[in-house]
Structure 1
């Protein structure tokens, strides 16, 4: 028989419940399976009714409380159903010291991170806390149930932070994708504007060249017109002088 993975939580020896894959009903199991359901975070199972004093009654009551707080683990091997309950043996000071040593050893063996988010470290500390709850519950059931409330509150808080973290990551990814899409759109817009700018600059250069050509042509035409006009003026002046001289010759008295 191969037991499940080792845990800091102390368990009793495994018990064979069924020799086939069909699990028995809770009434047919020799264990207190009715107390084996998982506890809901924030909901503390009510302690069983007190029984008549006696070692056997107290032990059974402690086992029922432990099974309600820390459900037994089950696994199937070779078509056989095995169940392993948490131990109800009272702990000693050496057990606590050994638990601390085992915690430090497993943190080192599994290379858990000392800081930051580390699932390995969280798992080991969760097992250690469950073992502490088991040890306290054996001595005082009410104190164990109160620690159970604390554990469930911590789990709900961590689950809330995890959900918030995942939603934040998803929101960040969406914003990053939107920014990437906006970046490509902006780059395309910039390229279009640069092409439009080049086209406008080409048109401006063409219009400037046309304007300069028109100015040169008009300047040449104006020079030609001015030269022609000056020649006409000179011609008219010469003609005027000639006519004036002829007129004076005609009207002058003959001597």
Structure 2
């Protein structure tokens, strides 16, 4: 007989479906030709017996009630399985949603024209226009649109700034590479007369943004003073062998000399 629970008081605890098969139909319905009514009566009887103390559904409810105060290792296996399946479903749903948001953001950034949107006027135009011009010139020799290169450049800087603010090492490394690459592009594409000023202005703006991207980063060495895990206690152990005491009669040899008697 298959069971789905541990034995209770030395007896096997049948499952809910086993209860249905084992429950005899009511006497009034044994001669009835309506099998649906007889099946419903057996189902009702098995439902009531399963909720009695020691029944299958009663045990499941007790496991759910005790899971609130028990550790992970003490929780029933079927509860762990249900929790893991629910967690994996949430992770898949969140990953799919995040992928859709990232794809929509990338398409929106790609729709921005790489050139013509900035004429190089203003502080931001002085920095942004040389980058657009440089990417447009390089895209002419590559099988990629200038708008895609510019969108990828923007997305890298945005992710590096946000991820670096939250302390991600990879995001901070991306932010450093983003800044160095931007300065190189501005130096290469800026007008010759104002190349140094444009690059210096970009370096200052990147340094100000690094206050947030590199928040909490320090170059001071971190010294951890931990007590030693072992202790050395020098000690000298001397092992001396002490002879056992000799009986009083053995000092002068065999006891064959008697004292002088008067």
TM-score by length of 1: 0.23
Structure (1 or 2) with the larger CA radius of gyration: 1
| Larger RCO (CA within 8 A; separation ≥ 6) | 1
TM-score by length of 2: 0.23
Structure with greater helix percent = 1
